[in-house]
Amino acid sequence: MNDRNGTMNLSRRGLMKTAAGVVTLATVPALSSRAYAAGSDKIRVGVVGCGGRGTHDSSRCLAADDNVELVAMGDIFPEQVERCRKTLAQRLPGKVKVSDEMCFSGWDAYKQVLAADIDMVILTTPPQFRPLMLKAAIEAGKHVFMEKPVAVDPVGVRSVIASSELADQKGLTIVAGTQMRRISHLVEAVKRVRDGVLGEILGGQCFRLGGGMTGWGPQQRKAEWSDMEWQLRRWLFMTWLSGDFIVEMHVHNLDVMNWAIGSHPVQCVGMGGRQQRTDPKFGDVYDHFAVEYEYPNGVRVSYKGAQQDGISNPHYQRVVGTKGSAQLDFGRAVIKGANAAEIGWNEYDPCLTQHADQMAAIRQGKRLNEGKQIAESSLTAIMGRMSAYTGRALKWSWALKASKLDLTPPAYEFGDLPMPPVAIPGQTRLI
């Protein structure tokens, strides 16, 4: 099954077989899909956030199934909608049925997409907006595919967990863009780890050092851009929008650790700072973090992450137990010790699998809800950042239940928005 040029379609039969091999689907009593209720096979999709990932996820969604159409699009900036619509129409002609009337822009674009005649929405804005948009989508009765991370602060995490519970009550599916969980060699290796091939798990390491991403986004501020517009266009470097890179990007890697260990951390202590990305155009994010996470039973995971130019770039997840270790990498998994094995990449695009799984679940009326799982992985990363920013050790239970940290600005509107100062451990307050 090759999808490299994005033109592959799965037959319905093949789609279900693929899905069944990857996820466990439990039947739910009632599914509120319009397509299902109407006895029609067609799934109508909208997308909110028409940037790089919105384009990619929409294309994977449309390629993963014969009977799916994109019918509504929204972005804060109209040119993003137009660029995305054009790209998708070229890549997947016949599946992009978005009229001019179904193209929306501005702060309320997500409401207009949700009011359209769609069964499912793809949420691919910067993570700041995910809790708000997920809540609105579930309340509107839509299935959701949402990109990671799903929040930037504990208040957002709590909202996502509540929306995920509501999705279950309404029989709606939620799939998260944690495609590592659908890479076949990782699925197999994690299964073996969870089945005990490493004996008792003692700890692990999670390393992701890499480039500074300094060329990302517009480099010069235009005179007509307000503070808000400038920050939105450079969202990667604004903690209130991205969560900082430990959350925005390294949630993938921390998610693999949670998956392999089968739990989330119970506490952590972290440190970090910025040495290269000191120019104000890099907002308030750090460029390096080191966090020790403690999981149940004293299992300790050492995470190190950096986005700096000119440094070595190790990138791996490793779990260590009494009988060996497992390295869980993007390209292959290597188990050492008593049950040694090497499992390679099977070249199947996990981003297609995640959409095929969701379409199958929608059609079969099966529960598929990854909301809480990705909320927990997001909180894993968020608590690491909170600890590093403040210099304080923190407990999961406090972060989840008591922290009042909410990075939402006073208003979602174009205008003045001073940048918060870069966090300084020992001075920045733990909220």
Ligand X SMILES: NC(=O)c1ccc[n+]([C@@H]2O[C@H](COP(=O)([O-])OP(=O)(O)OC[C@H]3O[C@@H](n4cnc5c(N)ncnc54)[C@H](O)[C@@H]3O)[C@@H](O)[C@H]2O)c1
- Residues in touch with ligand X (CB under 6 A): 48-54, 74-77, 80, 109-110, 124-127, 129, 147-148, 177, 179, 232, 248
For 240, 277, 342, 407, the CA distances from 418, given in Å and listed in that order, are 12, 19, 51, 13
C-beta of residue 71 within 8 angstroms of C-beta of residue 96: no
Residue with the two structure tokens 């159409």: 69
To the nearest whole angstrom, how small is the minimum distance from the Cβ of residue 216 to ligand X? 9
Nearer to ligand X, 48 or 61 (CB): 48
To the nearest whole angstrom, how small is the minimum distance from the Cβ of residue 178 to ligand X? 7
To the nearest whole angstrom, how small is the minimum distance from the Cβ of residue 52 to ligand X? 4
Nearer to ligand X, 133 or 268 (CB): 133
To the nearest whole angstrom, how small is the minimum distance from the Cβ of residue 49 to ligand X? 4
CA pair distance 253, 133, nearest whole angstrom: 25
To the nearest whole angstrom, how small is the minimum distance from the Cβ of residue 134 to ligand X? 12
For 64, 120, 286, 414, 424, the CA distances from 421, given in Å and listed in that order, are 44, 39, 11, 20, 9
Nearer to ligand X, 108 or 117 (CB): 108
Task: Tell me the Ramachandran region of residue 364: left when phi exceeds 0, alpha when psi lies from -120 to 50, beta otherwise.
Answer: alpha
The number of beta carbons lying within 10 Å of the beta carbon of residue 354 is 26
Nearer to ligand X, 36 or 303 (CB): 303
To the nearest whole angstrom, how small is the minimum distance from the Cβ of residue 177 to ligand X? 4
C-beta of residue 138 within 8 angstroms of C-beta of residue 146: no
SS3 42: coil
Residue nearest to ligand X as judged by C-beta position: 51
Nearer to ligand X, 55 or 327 (CB): 55
Nearer to ligand X, 51 or 420 (CB): 51
